[in-house]
Amino acid sequence: MRINKMSMNCATPFLLFFLGLVLPFTAHSGTFITGLTNPTGIAIRPNERSLYVKSGVRRKRSLSIGIRTLLVPLAFLLLLLFLPRSGISGSFISGLAAPTGLAIHPTERLLYVKSGTSGRVWSIPITQNGRAGNPSVATDSFTPDLNIVFDAAGNLYGLETGTHNLYRLDSNNTVTSTVLSSNYLRAFNSGIAVEGPGLPSSRLFIAGNEWHSAFYLGSVVINEVEPYQEVTRIGNTTGEFRFLLYRQGVGSIAGTKGDSLVNINASNGSCNVLLGGLIQPNGIAEDRQGNLYVADSGSGQIFKLTTLGQQVEIAKNLVNPTGLVFDSETGLLLVSETGAGRITTLPVGMASSGKVALKIKDPTGKWGATVTAPKGTSPNTPAACEDGTGNLYVFISKLDNTIAMNRRSPAGQWGKWANVSGTMRTSSSPSATYTDGKILLYVRGLDDKVWERIYNTGTKKWSAWKAVAGMTTPANPEAVTDDSGNTYLIIRGMR
């Protein structure tokens, strides 16, 4: 396997510039004319193709010159400005055998790639600057279909092509298989997706088909996967879904089938078209802002569907683009070009470390320096509230769907992150507000209900979680308290 590691901002510019200097001019490489005695001043006559040279002991001589040859080094330098940079925009890795499905490990900087013709799943490190490390074989024990997916614990799932087997590659690289029974389920162009970040109680969604005649959306619970497992039917669908992606922010599933990117209701399997008119849509990805990306293998294009429903072409002339995955740490969209045997990177978002950062503006309107909280990282937006005495309480939701709290003292000292979830799990950003010695914390549970928990800053004790009656939402709740102690809770309602 060959890895494209060359960096355009290191050795390559010097190499190309050197080549430009030594390209042949007229007589032989690097030489224009010899035999002059102490040549000094030179000039080109403006209306003739002549070079005038001042020779120390001889008379002036008029020489013919190919002026274009003098521009070769400059042309190479200009070319550098427009060449793609490896790991930033361009080739991530090449030499793969028909790569299709892509998935990034939830806690490690590893890209997993399904290789079509080799029957393997490759593991490729992602370096800090977004380049590829040395690949290794994660497993060759099964041949997954196009779509592969991780849960939050780092287990990789794939349906084996042409059978009714679900395979799981755990964090210890142990492979287990499950026979999925649902009227002869056959995995062929059958997408899979994990609900939310994939807790043990989460569902693994499966785009099932019965011998290419009846199509449906089904599911199994992750921690209940056994050697023989019946698929729970959610609802019938029209057509086979090649790729699925669970959309954590809206609680639905995106899928590709026929010539369309569609939204699938996770409760009953009903669909509505988000983007039509494609030729052969395959892989799907979503960035932190909720924008969707879809790879159209038939046209060689990548399309972005914004949260406002706007369609934008972000890449074209790719060779059979199939799999997509968004890397939130680098802001890169990784694309598997199946026909070219490579993975390409497209810059579509800002890189993020996931660290919590704080900036303070004083009463005069002057901003202070940016301060980073110790250790805590979050895939979602943090929440904060102040208690009136200068203590700042910061809340984050973590990759495992738990909630953590930290306190920054008036002197600027941070405490340690403490888990405040209890049994609660959330797939959204928390919201917090302060009133009368109490912090009111609100989250959207995995059941889409809005839940409240109250922290007494005096006793440093939490109340039990309590559902807010009549409030369900597919998005983040937001809370604010006025000077009279009234708390306002704002949500985006369900359909």
Would you say residue 234 lies in a domain?
Answer: yes
3-state helix, strand, coil in the chain (%, to 5): 5, 45, 45
Q: Within this chain, do residues 325 and 200 fall inside the same structural domain, yes or no?
A: yes
Q: Within this chain, do residues 149 and 273 fall inside the same structural domain, yes or no?
A: yes
Rounded to an integer, what distance in angstroms lies between the CA atom of residue 335 and that of residue 345?
A: 6
Instruction: Give the helix/strand (H/E) hosting 238.
Output: none
Query: Among 447, 439, 378, 361, which Cα is nearest to 407's?
Result: 439
- Predicted pLDDT of residue 339: 93
Of 80, 112, 127, which one is at a domain's C-terminal end? Answer: 80
Q: Within this chain, do residues 132 and 280 fall inside the same structural domain, yes or no?
A: yes
Q: Within this chain, do residues 64 and 123 fall inside the same structural domain, yes or no?
A: no
If one counts the domains in the chain, the total is 3
CA 443-445-446 angle, 5° bins: 150
Q: Within this chain, do residues 283 and 378 fall inside the same structural domain, yes or no?
A: no
383 and 453 in contact (C-beta within 8 Å)? no
Hey, what are 2's tokens? Answer: 């060959």
Q: Tens digits of per-residue pLDDT, 392-410?
A: 999 998 766 788 999 999 9
Q: Within this chain, do residues 379 and 323 fall inside the same structural domain, yes or no?
A: no
Classify 167 as helix, strand or coil.
strand
**Which string of DSSP letters, residue by residue, matches 280-326?**
SEEEEEE-TT--EEEEETTTTEEEEE-TT--EEEEE-S-SSEEEEEE
Q: Tens digits of per-residue pLDDT, 352-365?
A: 667 788 999 999 99
Would you say residue 139 lies in a domain?
Answer: yes
CA 152-156-158 angle, 5° bins: 135
Interstrand relation of 228-230 and 175-181 (parallel, antiparallel or unpaired): parallel
Contacts of 375 (CB under 8 A, 6+ apart): 417
Q: Within this chain, do residues 70 and 112 fall inside the same structural domain, yes or no?
A: no
Interstrand relation of 271-275 and 90-94 (parallel, antiparallel or unpaired): unpaired
List Cα–Cα distances, 337 to 34, 105, 323, 324, 386, in angstroms: 52, 20, 8, 10, 49
Q: Within this chain, do residues 145 and 217 fall inside the same structural domain, yes or no?
A: yes
Rounded to an integer, what distance in angstroms lies between the CA atom of residue 374 and that of residue 351?
A: 19
Contacts of 299 (CB under 8 A, 6+ apart): 278, 279, 316
CA 441-442-448 angle, 5° bins: 155
Q: Within this chain, do residues 167 and 148 fall inside the same structural domain, yes or no?
A: yes
CATH number at residue 303: 2.120.10.30
**Strand order across the 99-104 sheet:** 99-104, 110-115, 120-125, 136-139
Would you say residue 40 lies in a domain?
Answer: yes
Residues of the chain with confidence (pLDDT) below 50: 1-29, 58-70, 72-73, 75-88, 183-184
Would you say residue 108 lies in a domain?
Answer: yes
- Predicted pLDDT of residue 301: 96
Of 347, 379, 413, which one is at a domain's C-terminal end? Answer: 347
Alpha helix (H) residue ranges in 372-486: none
Q: Within this chain, do residues 368 and 332 fall inside the same structural domain, yes or no?
A: no
CATH number at residue 362: 2.120.10.70
- Predicted pLDDT of residue 146: 85
How far from chain centre, in Å, is Cα 100?
Answer: 16
Helices (H) and strands (E) in the chain, counts: 3, 41
- Predicted pLDDT of residue 314: 94
Note the pTM of the prediction, 2 decimals. 0.62
Q: Within this chain, do residues 338 and 460 fall inside the same structural domain, yes or no?
A: no
205 and 246 in contact (C-beta within 8 Å)? yes
Hey, what are 152's tokens? Answer: 């939050």
Classify 9 as helix, strand or coil.
coil
Would you say residue 433 lies in a domain?
Answer: yes
Enclosing domain of residue 275: 90-347
What single-letter DSSP state applies at residue 83? S
Side chain identity at residue 420, one-letter code? V
Rounded to an integer, what distance in angstroms lies between the CA atom of residue 403 and that of residue 462?
A: 13
223 and 194 in contact (C-beta within 8 Å)? no
List Cα–Cα distances, 208 to 2, 157, 471, 492, in angstroms: 36, 15, 33, 32
Rounded to an integer, what distance in angstroms lies between the CA atom of residue 234 and that of residue 226?
A: 20
445 and 426 in contact (C-beta within 8 Å)? yes
Of 298, 329, 347, which one is at a domain's C-terminal end? Answer: 347
How many residues comprise the chain?
Answer: 495
Q: Within this chain, do residues 113 and 228 fall inside the same structural domain, yes or no?
A: yes
Count CB neighbours of 454 within 10 A: 15
Rounded to an integer, what distance in angstroms lies between the CA atom of residue 428 and that of residue 451?
A: 12
Instruction: Give the helix/strand (H/E) hosting 14.
Output: helix 11-22
